[in-house]
Amino acid sequence: MLHGHGDDRYRYATPIRADFSTNVWYGGEPAGLKDYLFSQWDRINRYPDALAGQLAEQIAGHHRLAADQVLVNSGTTETIYLIAQAFAGSHTTIVTPAFAEYEDACRMHGHQLDFLDWNTLTDTPSLSAELVFICNPNNPTGAIFHALAAWMDRNPQTLFVVDEAFIEFTDKLETALPLLAQYDNLLVMRSLTKAYAIPGLRLGYVIGSPLLITRLTACKQPWTVNAMAMAAGQFIFDHYDHIQLPLSQLLADRRAFTDALDQLPTIQALDTATHFFLAETRTGTAADLKAYLLNQHGLLIRDASNFRGLRPGHFRLCTLAPDKNALLIDALTEWMH
C-alpha cells in the first residue's frame, strides 16, 4: 500500500489549495513545539535511546500504567507490522473497511486471513481467529464500536488489536485502555501524529500486558524512533492538558460541512462520529472526481475505492476550516454540471 494512502500530494506538481485527503488535524503542530525541537537539535549528534524507554515511561505515567506495558514506535504502521511479525502465521480476522496496512502486514508474515464486515458488529460471535484487527473509530468511515468488552468476554482465546489512531477526534467513544485492567487479550495502538499534526515525524505507541509487550519488543529493531520524534513526544506529554485540539468546534464544522454536502443531489455524505467521513459520488467515479478537483480546483481528496468492501464512487473527506470546506462545496457543485 506504499502509494495508496491519503495525503499523497507529494505525487503532484499541481499547487494544492486545500487537502481533504488526510485525517491529520489541519491546525498544525502544538504551539511551542517547533521552537522546542530546535532547542533540542543537538540530540541528532548522538544515538537516541534504542527503545525510546524514557518516553515510554512518560506515556505509562500519563496513562497510570507500568512502563513495561508500553512500547514506543515509529508511528502506528510500525506497530502493525511488529504485531503481524510477532504473531506470524496466525489465523487473523480484519474488520473492514479498514486501513490497508493490517492486511499488507499480515500477508507479509503469512497470516491466514478472513474479513468481517463492520456492519455485522451488532452480533457477538464466537470467533475462530487468533487475532482480530479493529480500528475504533474506524478509518475510513468514522464509525465507532461500543461492544468490545463483550467480544473479548466471548472470545478469550482471541487477541484483539484495537487501533485508536483517531480517538482524539470523537466525543462518542471512550478509549479501550481501562479494559487492560480486566483483559489480557488486548493490545491498544495509539498515534501521536494525527491530533498533534506531526505525521512527518512518525510517532506512536502500543499498550498491552507486559507479556504481550515483551513479545513485540523481541521483534523490534533498535533506533526506529528518531531523536526529534522522541523530543516531540516528550513535549506533547509535558504540555498535554494545554495542547488538545478544539474538538467541539471541529465537530460542529463537520456537521455544517456534511449538511452542505447533503444538499448536493449527486453526493452522499455517510454518517460519522469523527471529523472525517466517507462520501459517495453518483456522477462518475471517485478517481474521476479526484482528478477533476485536483486539476481544475487544486483540491485533494482521498479516493477510497481501494478500501476492501467499498465501491468505485466512495471517497473520504476530512473537515478543514469553513472557508476551505466552502471551496470544495463550490467545486462539487460545478462537478455536477
Per-residue pLDDT tens over the stretch 147-161: 999 999 999 999 999
Q: Do residues 17 and 95 share a domain?
A: no
2, pLDDT greater than 50: no
Write the CATH number for 294. 3.90.1150.10
- 194 and 113 both lie in a single domain: yes
Are 272 and 141 a contacting pair, CB within 8 Å?
A: yes
Residue 215 has pLDDT above 50, yes or no: yes
Within this chain, do residues 195 and 289 fall inside the same structural domain, yes or no?
Answer: no
How does pLDDT run across 15-45, given as a tens digit for each residue? Answer: 899 999 999 999 999 999 999 999 999 999 9
Q: Is residue 111 part of a domain?
A: yes
Q: Summarize pLDDT for 171-187 with one digit per residue, the tens.
A: 999 999 999 999 999 99
* Burial environment of residue 122 by CB neighbours within 10 A (0 to 12, 13 to 18, 19 or more): exposed
Q: What is the mean pLDDT of residues 54-82?
A: 97
Whether residue 4 lies inside any domain: the answer is: no
Looking at the structure, tell me whether residues 182 and 46 fall in a common domain. Answer: yes
Contacts of 253 (CB under 8 A, 6+ apart): 275, 319, 321, 322, 325
Do residues 238 and 253 both lie within one domain?
no
228-269 pLDDT, tens per residue?
999 999 999 999 999 999 999 999 999 999 999 999 999 999
Residue 14's pLDDT band, with cuts at 50, 70 and 90, is confident
pTM of the model: 0.95
The DSSP line for 223-267 is T-S-HHHHHHHHHHHHSGGG----HHHHHHHHHHHHHHHTTSTTE
- C-alpha cell recorded at residue 173: 467513544
284-313 pLDDT tens trace: 999 999 999 999 999 999 999 999 999 999
Residue 141 confidence (pLDDT) above 90: yes
- What domain range is 13 assigned to? 9-23+245-335
- Percentage of the residues of the chain whose pLDDT score is greater than 70: 97
Residue 10: per-residue pLDDT: 66
Total domain count, the chain? 2
Using the 3D structure, point to which of 188, 216, 242 is the last residue of a domain.
242
Residue 64: how many CB atoms within 10 A of its CB?
9
Strands 186-191 and 204-207: antiparallel
Predicted confidence band of residue 121 (pLDDT cuts 50, 70, 90) = confident
Asked if residue 282 and residue 192 are part of one domain, the reply reads no
pLDDT digits (tens, 9 = 90+) for 72-108: 999 999 999 999 999 999 999 999 999 999 999 999 9
φ, ψ dihedrals at 18, nearest 5° = -155, 135
Average pLDDT value for the chain: 95
Domain boundary among 242, 270, 295: 242
In a domain, 28, yes or no: no
Phi, psi dihedral angles at 88 (to 5 degrees): -55, 140
Kindly indicate the confidence band of residue 5, based on its pLDDT and cuts at 50, 70 and 90. Answer: low
